[in-house]
């Protein structure tokens, strides 16, 4: 094995069948005592962590690069998601955004659980909804919102994040190494918590992590 290469946990080594992966993830999320942010003064948003298996049987999740033409957070790595519409539940919003952004229509039964709310610098309470996307799902990303849709093996996120300091905040900025670059918070924080809870069986909290200044808008 190459030095420094991420280690894939044995339980996700390709031997586990899709139904086991789905059930095991749901079990771990059900046991996770998630923290909800009681901030009705902020805008509410939902993002989807879509768990799947790629065409080689590797447990994976879906990650987008936002279109360069978007007014907010253009060109950044992101999970499918957006603002919750009036009268809409968190789960319904995550399902709708997944359909609108990547063309994947998932039923409510696909929901496996929720992670901690994350308060963003741009004024949102972001709720991560983990959903089962199926084996090698057919997607149709919207060119207005998505520049690239990545199918990311879970082995690639089973790594330690990089934490850096910035003069604008006392909190550490979290960065997740991926694609020879870095994914930033809030996406990096949510993906890191998913890794900790689902892959490492650790109820790690991430609300204290900071976002880079360019994401504060």
Q: What are residue 210's DSSP bridge partners?
A: 173
pLDDT band at 98 (very low <50, low <70, confident <90, very high): very high
pLDDT value for 67: 73
Stronger pLDDT, 212 or 113, i.e. the higher one? 113
pLDDT value for 1: 30
pLDDT band at 214 (very low <50, low <70, confident <90, very high): confident
Given a cut of 90, is residue 143 above it in pLDDT?
no
Structural domains of the chain sorted by starting position, each given as residue range(s) with its CATH number in brackets: 11-155 (3.90.79.10)
Q: Which residue has the tokens 């670059």?
A: 181
Report the percentage of the chain scoring pLDDT > 90. Answer: 75
Dihedral sign computed on CA atoms, order 47, 50, 51, 54: negative
Q: What is the pLDDT of residues 60-69, one digit of tens each?
A: 999 998 776 6
pLDDT band at 75 (very low <50, low <70, confident <90, very high): low
Question: Is the omega angle on the peptide bond into residue 186 within 30 degrees of 0, that is, cis?
Answer: yes
Given a cut of 70, is residue 76 above it in pLDDT?
yes
Q: What is the pLDDT of residues 158-181, one digit of tens each?
A: 999 999 999 999 999 999 999 999
Q: pTM, whole model, 2 decimals?
A: 0.89
Mean pLDDT of the region 131-135: 95
Q: How much of the chain is in helix, strand and coil states, percent to nearest 5?
A: 25, 30, 45
């Amino acid at each position: 094995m190459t030095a420094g290469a991420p280690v894939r946990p044995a339980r996700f080594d390709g031997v586990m069948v899709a139904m086991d992966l789905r059930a095991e993830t749901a079990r771990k999320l059900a046991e996770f005592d998630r923290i909800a942010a009681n901030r009705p003064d902020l805008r509410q948003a939902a993002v989807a962590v879509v768990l799947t298996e790629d065409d080689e049987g590797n447990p994976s999740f879906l990650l987008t690069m936002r279109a360069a033409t978007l007014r907010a957070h253009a060109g950044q790595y992101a999970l499918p998601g957006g603002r919750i519409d009036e009268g809409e539940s968190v789960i319904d919003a995550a399902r709708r955004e997944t359909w609108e952004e990547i063309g994947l229509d998932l039923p409510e039964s696909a929901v496996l659980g929720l992670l901690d709310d994350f308060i963003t610098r741009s004024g949102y309470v972001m709720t991560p909804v983990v959903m089962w996307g199926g084996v090698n799902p057919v997607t149709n990303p919207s060119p207005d919102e998505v520049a690239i849709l990545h199918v990311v093996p879970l082995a690639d996120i089973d790594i330690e994040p990089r934490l850096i300091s910035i003069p604008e905040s006392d909190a550490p900025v979290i960065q997740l190494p991926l694609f020879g670059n870095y994914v930033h918070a809030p996406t990096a924080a949510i993906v890191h918590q998913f890794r900790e809870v689902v892959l490492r069986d650790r109820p790690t909290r991430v609300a204290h992590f900071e976002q880079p200044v360019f994401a504060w808008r």
